[in-house]
């Protein structure tokens, strides 16, 4: 499914209110330009072509966290800012931006590794293949699935 298909109603609503459509750089969702402002827009002054390209990109469903994920996030020491998962399924909490090595992520400043036996299925959507580490603050903002 393309972004234009998924967000059709929201795009029509924005246009119906007489506004132009921008794309929030943080959420990758369409917003009215008057609300969003150029400084927060992903299209970077390439409004027409950028919007056309974004509309034709595949929609990427946002991950959701479980109740157990949420409980974990609520108790983890706030000094940790990032979480990643190694090729061996070991979670790594890191204070600084972790660095990927051949088989695992290397925590920066201070890190804690948590084996799969301990976390038992937490954060199933976090994968070794993720290009960037997940920020714990961003995970806290995700919807909780039932």
Give the phi and the psi of residue 102 in degrees, each rounded to 5.
-65, -40
Q: What's the pLDDT tens digit per position in 19-60? A: 999 999 888 999 999 999 999 999 988 898 999 999 999 998
Percentage, residues of the chain above pLDDT 70:
99
pLDDT at residue 133 greater than cutoff 90: yes
* Cβ atoms 108, 98 nearer than 8 A: yes
- Cα distances (angstroms) measured from residue 83 to each of 65, 69, 93, 98, 135: 14, 12, 5, 8, 6
Q: Could you tell me the pTM of the whole model?
A: 0.67
- Cα distances (angstroms) measured from residue 21 to each of 2, 67, 83, 93, 124: 16, 35, 33, 38, 34
Give the three-state DSSP class for 15. Answer: helix
d(CA 111, CA 93): 5
Helix (H) and strand (E) counts in the chain: 7, 6
pLDDT at residue 79 greater than cutoff 80: yes
Per-residue pLDDT at 105: 85
* Cβ atoms 105, 117 nearer than 8 A: no
**For 2-10, what is the mean pLDDT?**
97
pLDDT at residue 87 greater than cutoff 80: yes
pLDDT at residue 146 greater than cutoff 80: no
Per-residue pLDDT at 144: 92
**For 72-94, what is the mean pLDDT?**
92
> Phi-psi category of 28—alpha, beta or left, where left has phi over 0 and alpha has psi -120 to 50?
left
d(CA 136, CA 93): 9
Per-residue pLDDT at 110: 83
């Amino acid at each position: 499914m393309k972004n234009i298909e998924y967000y059709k109603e929201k795009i029509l609503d924005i246009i119906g209110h007489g506004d132009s459509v921008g794309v929030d750089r943080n959420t990758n969702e369409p917003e009215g330009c008057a609300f969003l402002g150029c400084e927060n827009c992903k299209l970077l002054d390439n409004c027409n072509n950028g919007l056309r390209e974004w509309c034709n990109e595949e929609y990427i469903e946002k991950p959701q966290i479980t109740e157990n994920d949420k409980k974990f996030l609520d108790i983890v020491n706030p000094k940790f800012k990032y979480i990643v998962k190694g090729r061996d399924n070991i979670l790594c909490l890191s204070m600084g931006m972790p660095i990927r090595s051949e088989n695992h992520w290397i925590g920066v400043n201070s890190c804690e590794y948590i084996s799969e036996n301990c976390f038992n299925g937490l954060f199933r959507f976090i994968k070794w293949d993720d290009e960037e580490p997940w920020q714990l603050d961003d995970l806290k903002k995700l919807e909780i699935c039932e």
